[in-house]
Structure formats: C-alpha cells, structure tokens
C-alpha cells in the first residue's frame, strides 16, 4: 500500500483517503490554485520590500552630494576653508566606506527588519543634528551619523534584490537600483540649489527629515523578510584596521591642498603611509580569517577575474561622477558667477537623463550582456571629460548642460551592467561579501575622487580658499579626463558572456 506523500503546501495526502479517491483532480486544482496564490503573494511582498528599500536608499543617498552646491555658502557662514568644507561630502563617503564592511557581519547576525530600523534611526538622528548644528564640528557629526545609517541600506538593498528577484529580471531591477546609486547623488545639487535659494542651508536637512521618519514607520509596519541568521563573531581588530586604511588614504590626499599653501600640522604623507600600511595588514588578516569563515570582509570575490574588472571600472566611474559633480558646482558658482538655484537647474537635465537610462541600460543588459554596453559607455565618458577641459570664464550654460548630460549617458551605460554582472556571477555564499566590496569601494572612490580633484583645484587656482578659478577648474577636469582615458583599455578585459535573459 502506498504511504503518505508530501502535498504541495507542506501537508500530507493519502492516496486511499475517500476524499482523495473521489476527486483527485479537484484536490490537485485546489492545491495548484493555493500554490499560485502563495507565489503571487510572495512576489507582491518581494516587490513591496524592494521598493521600500529603494525609496529609503534614495532619500539617504541624496545626502551624499546635497552639500556640494552649498559649499560656498557654508564657507562664508561657518568661516572654514574649501578643503575643510569639502569634508562634508568626502567625510560622508568615507564614513560609509568604513561602516559598510561591518554590514557583512550585521546582515548575517541580525534580521533585515532590525538592521533597517537601526539604520533609519541613525540617519534620522543625524539629519536632526545637522539641521540644528551651531557650527562645523556639530554639522560634521550629523553628517557622520547620516552616513553610518546610509551604509547599512546599500548592502541590504543589493542582497534583497539578489535573493528576491529572478535571474532573468535582475538587470532591469538593477537599473532601478542604479537610479538610487547614481541618480540620487546626481540630483542632490539640484535640490540643494532650490532649497538654498528659497530657504537656506539648514532646510536641506529639515526637508529630508519627514521622509526619513515616514520610511522608518513604513519599515516597522511592512518589512517582514524571513531569513536565517547565524551567531558569528565580529573581528574587533579588523574594524579599526579598516578605518585606518580608508581614512588614512583619503585624509592624506585631502591634506595635500592645505600643505601646498603653507606649513601643515601633519604632513600629507604621514596619513597616506599609515593608510597604506593599515590596508596591507587588513588585507592579510582578511585572507587568513576567511579560511575559517570569520573575515570581516571576505575577499574571495576579487579572485574572480570578471568581478575584479567590473569593480575597477565601477570605482573609476564613481570617481568621475562625484568628482565632476563637485567640480562643476564650484565652477558654475565661482567662475561663471551663477546662483545656487541656477547651478541646481543646470545639473538637473543630467540627473533626469541618468534616471531614465538606468532601467533602460538594465533591460539592455538582460538582452545583450555587459560588454556591448560598457565599451561604448567608457568611450563616451572619456570623451565628455576631455570636452570639459575646454571650459573657460565665459562658457555658455547650454554647453555645460550638454557636457554634463553626455557624461551621465556614458556612466549610465557602464554602471548598471557592471554592478549587475559583478554580483550576479558570484556563488550564493559570497554575494553578501561581494555586495559589501562593491559598495565599500564605491564610497572610497567617491571620497577619493572628491579629495583628488579639490586638491588639484587648490594647487592650481590662484585663491582656492574661497573658491576656484578657470585654471584650477580646467586642471581638475584634465586630471579626470586622463584617468578616464587610461581606464578605457580595462573595458576590453570585460568577459564576452551573455546575461541570463539573452535572447540573441
């Protein structure tokens, strides 16, 4: 006699049960319908979770560059120099780079809902602190708190996408996520310009705070993702090593500008050397700890050649994006002498184009793969940065808009396919670490790009304490163009492989 068999939704059915014998077809149909309803509900819940994370991340990442247009006003209001004021942007990115590696531990040890609520709490408290800040030190503290909260959202969003979205739709979904990663910082200056013109710099935080609180309440009510957590230990030695490594490198690079104008309390090469040494020790320790599964940041994804190439190109692309945004806002206000409001409107078309192209490039990736998009995208990026070097003291605004739009077109063709391809090819256990690596290096790239280009401006401009001049702007754009050109050959190393949804 046949024994019980497992039913489609976890119960049991007996072939000799009278009800089963009378209506086996009806039983199958009922089970199939129930399974269909369960699948639909799961898909709906997955979409709700992802869109909640996307919306939250958009509001949070917007703050990465929202300060860029406000730098001239903050320099005058708070009495600080340009290299000091730019830490409101690069310090935000650097904090994220230090915190993101820890999220690998947090996401495995604690459930998504708890991580989300703590993240939003930190961000909201930091936003309130910045809005009430009486001076630069408190404002910088608020920015650090904002960044610490934002750092948890990015890996949580990436991992949720990989877990919840089928492989054949990941390119399109990553296109939506690219709107968060790239478009939010691209539109930050526009929002900043409008707020500065109408209300003042503190309102850049008052405007964001209600959205953060609403997101917190929505997450508390809706975010229910069942995942298995593990009791793992946090390597307390790796955490300060990570901070010393990333912090030393960016701090040293940023200090070059101050040292170029006179004696500095600390020579730039000291923090740079400390950063390089700490980085070497950090990497060696992670390689040893990952053998037993205790690494703070598992580096095995970097052994994958395609992943490593994609990460290098993403880093260079983010350096170009963040560096160009802050350079362009300073150029528009200090060289062309336009208002913060006009500066924001000038950057708006580029942000809108990037928002429109993100999902499009994701769908193109699903169909054609990564190589056919990245090579032309890198070429367009390099060409646009060379065109920026032609700017002068009387350039027309329409030409600046055209140059900025051309750049974001190139970056849109690169970023979505590269990030999707880098994460999609990793085995399941390494996805969280791969996401942490990509997210960490993105923030380091943004901080390093901002610091590098501001340093070039300070070295070349006649007076970079309160702004930039034409020579400083052109030198910085030349530096960006050279980097993009030297990086182009790396696109030829992108593997010839098809995406999951390739129909060709």
| Cα distances (Å, whole numbers) of residue 234 to 21, 101, 102, 192, 464 | 57, 11, 8, 38, 43
Dihedral over alpha carbons 354, 356, 361, 363 (to 10 degrees): 160
Beta strands, E only, 392-490: none
Cα-Cα-Cα-Cα dihedral sign, residues 61, 486, 418, 385: positive
The pLDDT value recorded for residue 125 is 92
Q: Helix axis angle, 87-109 relative to 305-334, nearest 10°?
A: 150
CA 273 → CA 244, 252, 462, distances in Å? 10, 8, 29
Q: What are phi and psi of 13, to 5 degrees?
A: -130, 145
Residues 276-291 have a mean pLDDT of 88
Query: 90-99, 124-133, 253-262 — which is least confidently predicted?
Result: 253-262
| pLDDT in the model for residue 37 | 46
Per-residue model confidence as pLDDT tens digits over 115-130: 888 888 999 999 999 8
Q: What is the pLDDT of residues 377-403, one digit of tens each?
A: 888 988 988 998 888 888 888 888 898
- Tens of pLDDT along 450-490? 777 877 777 776 654 445 677 777 888 888 888 888 888 88
How far apart CA 412 and CA 357 sit, in angstroms, is 6
**DSSP element (H, E) containing 390:** none
Return the higher-pLDDT residue of 320 and 258.
Answer: 320
Q: So what's the pLDDT on residue 46?
A: 64
Stronger pLDDT, 18 or 322, i.e. the higher one: 322
Q: Of 212, 215, 218, 217, give the one whose Cα is nearest residue 128.
A: 212
User: What is the arithmetic mean of pLDDT over 282-308?
Assistant: 82
The pLDDT confidence band at residue 211, using thresholds 50, 70 and 90, is confident
Cα atoms in the Cβ-side hemisphere of radius 13 Å centred on 134: 0
- The residue ranking higher by pLDDT, 391 or 443, is 391
Judge contact between 338 and 396, C-beta under 8 A.
no
* Most confident listed range (38-47, 152-161, 333-342): 333-342
Rounded Cα gap, residues 329 and 327, in angstroms:
6
Residues 6+ apart with CB under 8 A from 16: 1, 2
Query: What is the pLDDT confidence band of residue 219, given thresholds at 50, 70 and 90?
Result: confident
Residue of 365, 384, 269 whose CA lies nearest to 320: 384
Q: Is the model more confident about 198 or about 34?
A: 198
Q: Given this model, what pLDDT does residue 32 score?
A: 43
**Which pLDDT value is given to residue 266?**
64
Asked if residue 199 has pLDDT above 50, the reply is: yes
Q: pLDDT tens digits for 93-116? A: 677 777 877 777 777 777 777 888
C-alpha 112/C-alpha 424 separation (Å) is: 21
Range with lowest mean pLDDT among 87-96, 247-256, 364-373, 375-384: 247-256
The confidence score (pLDDT) of residue 501 equals 45
Tokens of 238: 């790796």
Q: Is the pLDDT of residue 274 over 80?
A: yes
Say which DSSP state 64 is in. G
Residue 42 has pLDDT above 90, yes or no: no
What is the C-alpha to C-alpha distance for residues 459 and 252, in angstroms, rounded to an integer?
15
């Amino acid at each position: 006699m046949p024994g019980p068999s497992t039913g489609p939704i976890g119960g049991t059915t007996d072939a000799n049960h009278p009800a089963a014998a009378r209506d086996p077809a009806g039983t199958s149909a009922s089970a199939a319908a129930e399974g269909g309803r369960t699948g639909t509900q799961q898909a709906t819940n997955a979409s709700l979770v992802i869109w909640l994370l996307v919306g939250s991340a958009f509001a949070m990442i917007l703050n990465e560059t929202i300060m860029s247009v406000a730098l001239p006003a903050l320099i005058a209001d708070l009495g600080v120099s340009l290299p000091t004021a730019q830490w409101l942007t690069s310090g935000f990115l650097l904090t994220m780079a230090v915190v993101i590696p820890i999220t690998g531990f947090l996401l495995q040890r604690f459930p998504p809902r708890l991580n989300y609520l703590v993240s939003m709490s930190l961000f909201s408290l930091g936003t309130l602190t910045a809005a009430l800040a009486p001076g630069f030190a408190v404002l910088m503290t608020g920015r650090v708190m904002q960044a610490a909260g934002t750092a948890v959202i990015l890996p949580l969003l990436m991992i949720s996408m990989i877990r919840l979205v089928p492989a054949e739709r990941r390119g399109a979904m990553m296109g939506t996520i690219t709107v968060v990663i790239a478009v939010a910082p691209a539109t930050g200056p526009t929002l900043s310009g409008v707020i500065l013109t109408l209300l003042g710099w503190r309102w850049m935080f008052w405007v964001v705070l209600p959205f953060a609180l609403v997101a917190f309440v929505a997450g508390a009510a809706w975010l229910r993702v069942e995942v298995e957590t593990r009791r793992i230990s946090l390597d307390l030695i790796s955490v300060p090593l990570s901070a010393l490594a990333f912090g030393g490198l960016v701090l040293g690079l940023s200090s070059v500008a101050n040292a170029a104008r006179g004696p500095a309390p600390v020579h730039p090469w000291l923090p740079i050397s400390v950063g390089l040494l700490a980085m070497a020790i950090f990497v060696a320790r992670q390689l040893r700890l990952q053998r037993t599964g205790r690494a703070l940041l598992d580096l095995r994804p970097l052994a994958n050649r395609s992943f490593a190439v994609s990460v290098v190109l993403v880093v260079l692309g983010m350096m170009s994006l963040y560096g160009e945004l802050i350079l362009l806002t300073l150029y528009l206000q200090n060289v062309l002498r336009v208002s913060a409001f006009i500066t924001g409107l000038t950057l708006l078309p580029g942000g809108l184009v990037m928002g429109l192209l993100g999902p499009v490039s994701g769908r193109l990736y699903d169909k054609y793969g990564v190589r056919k998009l990245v090579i032309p995208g890198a070429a367009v990026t390099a060409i646009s940065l060379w065109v920026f070097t032609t700017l002068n003291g009387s350039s027309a605004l329409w030409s600046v808009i055209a140059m900025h739009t051309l750049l974001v077109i190139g970056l849109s063709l690169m970023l979505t396919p590269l990030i999707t391809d880098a994460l999609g090819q990793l085995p399941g256990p390494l996805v969280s670490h791969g996401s942490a690596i990509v997210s960490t290096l993105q923030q380091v790239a943004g901080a390093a790009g901002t610091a590098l280009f501001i340093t070039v401006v300070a070295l070349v401009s006649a007076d970079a304490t309160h702004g930039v001049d034409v020579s400083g702007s052109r030198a910085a754009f030349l530096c960006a163009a050279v980097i993009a050109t030297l990086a182009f050959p790396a696109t030829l190393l992108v593997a010839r492989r098809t995406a999951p949804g390739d129909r060709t």
